[in-house]
């Protein structure tokens, strides 16, 4: 079992948590009853101790989304503690779902939560793509060419809660918005300043704050770029059950496309993407969004989707501009600087055309978690830096082409050009090969043992 004294690089006694019965910070492993654990971690955010002085921390993860929590769980399973700072008052438990492919499921299995989550969501069998005149352009089963493929949509809130419940108490600090970051002269540590005035000095910082990451900005990354279309998405709720087939359905139009798939026996996820020269004003009125969605579908063979839109609850309908960032070598910074690294959307925001953002954020988390845990246990600051460098070296060749692939696919799917549209519907789509289409989901990972040396 890991002990605090075994690792000399981090002096703080909270760093490598021994998980003994006498856990001084109230750490304990537990099966989280829904909400109970979250209420307990939520209570910490008002601790005046944090505000009064610079608190020394070892690993600080900024952002309690998918990447942040999965990184914290990966480290925890390898016997290494961390502090997660989340700007929200609680986890984002609201509404929307996202699709996870086999790479995402393999990570969730490796960190011990796959089976808990899997049982709550429908196993999607395949994909049907139609044109606006109702023609089936392509239909296939996910397992036709790859028996190991697994596709399910999960509710973000369920995924986050399940991850959070794996963490020791007091790992997540809510209402903790990072507002400023600077390099400290002492030991090359990093100073983090929060909106409530708290100052933390951290030996390692992992930026997981999503697409608007202040840490990525501080590291010199350019702003994500708007790609010319927006998306309205929502979650249709059918309390008495629905009769939607267990597959993804897409319709391609001119400058507009739509898709839907069941998430569970009572919920169906849907989205409509439409071209727009600029992101436009922020619209959050659910009635207005429903109205816009229906207008976009006028004249389409989309009765099912119209019904799902009518069943969408107000707090699950969202409109967002689509953006990404291409990580050109030499033009963009690396994913790490000293002992600060970025993970998930904070590093490589990509368009959702391949449904891969969350799955690759999970991949990043487990790769970084394993390397960092190993380096920490070796006990030197240079090995931590080497671990971050090795993380960048392993992940960049995966995430850079994937962001480009997602972007180019989106450009073709979203086209208004009739010639490109003709090729898309008559040449490209009918010849889609699932095996090459989902090649990027071939990610393998060994289970991360709980509290064992790896």
Beta strands in 238-309 (DSSP E): 247-252, 256-262, 267-275
In the chain, what is the greatest distance between 2 CA atoms, to the nearest angstrom?
69
Binds ligand FAD by CB under 6 A, chosen from 214, 236, 262, 434: 214
Closer CB to ligand FAD, residue 65 or residue 253?
A: 65
Closer CB to ligand FAD, residue 10 or residue 218?
A: 218
Which H or E run includes 182?
Answer: strand 178-183
Binds ligand FAD by CB under 6 A, chosen from 99, 198, 332, 429: 99
**352 binds ligand FAD, rule: CB under 6 A:** yes
d(CA 301, CA 135): 10
Residues 6+ apart with CB under 8 A from 181: 190, 191, 192, 193, 205, 214, 215, 218, 340
Binds ligand FAD by CB under 6 A, chosen from 108, 163, 208, 263: 208
CB of 20 to ligand FAD, least distance (A): 31
Binds ligand FAD by CB under 6 A, chosen from 320, 420, 437, 445: 320
Binds ligand FAD by CB under 6 A, chosen from 210, 236, 259, 421: 210
Tell me if 345 sits within 8 A of 357, measured CB to CB. yes
Which H or E run includes 288?
Answer: helix 286-296
Residues 6+ apart with CB under 8 A from 425: 131, 135, 137, 252
Binds ligand FAD by CB under 6 A, chosen from 14, 27, 41, 67: 67
**345 binds ligand FAD, rule: CB under 6 A:** yes
Stretch of residues binding ligand FAD (CB under 6 A), selected from 11-19, 171-179, 276-284, 333-341: 171-179
Closer CB to ligand FAD, residue 16 or residue 113?
A: 113
Closer CB to ligand FAD, residue 27 or residue 346?
A: 346
Q: What DSSP character marks residue 343? A: -
Closer CB to ligand FAD, residue 65 or residue 262?
A: 65
CB of 60 to ligand FAD, least distance (A): 10
H-state helical runs in 326-447: 357-378, 381-413, 418-423, 434-437
Q: For residue 162, count other CB atoms closer than 10 A to its CB.
A: 21
Q: For residue 452, count other CB atoms closer than 10 A to its CB.
A: 11
Binds ligand FAD by CB under 6 A, chosen from 356, 407, 414, 415: 356
Burial class (CB in 10 A: 0-12, 13-18, 19+), 160: buried
Binds ligand FAD by CB under 6 A, chosen from 198, 353, 359, 429: 359
Judged by CB under 6 A, the number of residues near ligand FAD is: 34
CB of 65 to ligand FAD, least distance (A): 2
**92 binds ligand FAD, rule: CB under 6 A:** yes
CB of 143 to ligand FAD, least distance (A): 19
Backbone angles phi, psi at 355, to 5 degrees: 60, 40
Closer CB to ligand FAD, residue 16 or residue 124?
A: 124
Task: Please measure the distance between the N-terminal and C-terminal CA atoms of the chain and give it in whole angstroms.
Answer: 11
d(CA 62, CA 66): 12
**324 binds ligand FAD, rule: CB under 6 A:** no
**184 binds ligand FAD, rule: CB under 6 A:** no
**259 binds ligand FAD, rule: CB under 6 A:** no
Which chain residues interact with ligand FAD by CB under 6 A? Answer: 62-68, 85-88, 92, 98-99, 176-178, 208-210, 214, 231, 233, 320, 344-346, 352, 355-359, 361
């Amino acid at each position: 079992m890991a002990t605090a004294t075994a690792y000399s690089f981090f002096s703080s006694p909270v760093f490598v948590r021994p998980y003994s019965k006498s856990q001084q910070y109230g750490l304990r492993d537990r099966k989280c009853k829904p909400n109970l654990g979250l209420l307990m971690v939520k209570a910490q955010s008002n601790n005046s101790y944090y505000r009064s002085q610079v608190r020394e921390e070892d690993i600080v993860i900024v952002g309690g989304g998918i990447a942040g929590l999965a990184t914290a769980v990966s480290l925890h399973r390898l016997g290494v503690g961390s502090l997660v700072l989340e700007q929200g008052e609680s986890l984002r438990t609201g509404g929307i779902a996202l699709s996870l492919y086999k790479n995402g499921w393999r990570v969730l299995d490796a960190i011990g939560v796959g089976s808990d989550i899997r049982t709550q969501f429908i196993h999607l069998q395949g994909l049907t793509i139609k044109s606006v005149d109702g023609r089936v352009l392509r239909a296939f089963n996910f397992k036709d060419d790859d028996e190991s493929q697994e596709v399910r949509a999960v509710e973000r809130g369920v995924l986050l809660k399940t991850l959070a419940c794996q963490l020791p108490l007091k790992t997540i600090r809510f209402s903790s918005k990072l507002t400023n970051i600077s390099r400290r002269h002492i030991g090359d540590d990093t100073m983090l300043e929060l909106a409530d005035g708290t100052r933390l000095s951290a030996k390692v910082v992992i930026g997981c704050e999503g697409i608007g990451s202040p840490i990525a900005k501080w590291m010199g990354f350019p702003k994500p770029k708007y790609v010319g279309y927006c998306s309205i998405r929502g979650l249709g709720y059918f309390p008495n059950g629905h009769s939607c087939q267990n597959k993804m359905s897409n319709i391609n139009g001119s400058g507009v496309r739509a898709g839907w798939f069941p998430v569970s026996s009572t919920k169906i996820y849907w989205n409509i993407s439409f071209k727009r020269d600029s992101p436009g004003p922020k619209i959050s009125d659910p009635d207005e969004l429903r109205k816009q969605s229906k207008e976009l579908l006028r004249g389409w063979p989309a009765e099912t989707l119209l019904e799902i839109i009518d069943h969408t609850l107000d707090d699950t309908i969202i409109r967002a501009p689509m953006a990404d960032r291409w990580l050109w070598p030499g033009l963009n910074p690396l994913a790490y600087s000293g002992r600060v690294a970025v993970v998930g959307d904070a590093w490589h925001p990509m368009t959702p055309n391949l449904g891969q953002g969350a799955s690759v954020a999970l991949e990043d988390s487990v790769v970084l978690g394993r390397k960092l845990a190993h380096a920490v246990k070796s006990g030197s600051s240079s090995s931590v830096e080497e671990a971050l460098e090795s993380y960048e070296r392993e992940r960049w060749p995966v995430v850079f082409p994937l962001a480009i692939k997602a972007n180019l696919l989106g450009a073709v799917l979203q086209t208004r050009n009739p010639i490109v549209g003709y090729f898309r519907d008559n040449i490209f789509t009918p010849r889609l090969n699932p095996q090459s289409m989902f090649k990027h989901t071939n990610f393998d990972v060994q289970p991360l043992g709980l509290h064992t040396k790896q």
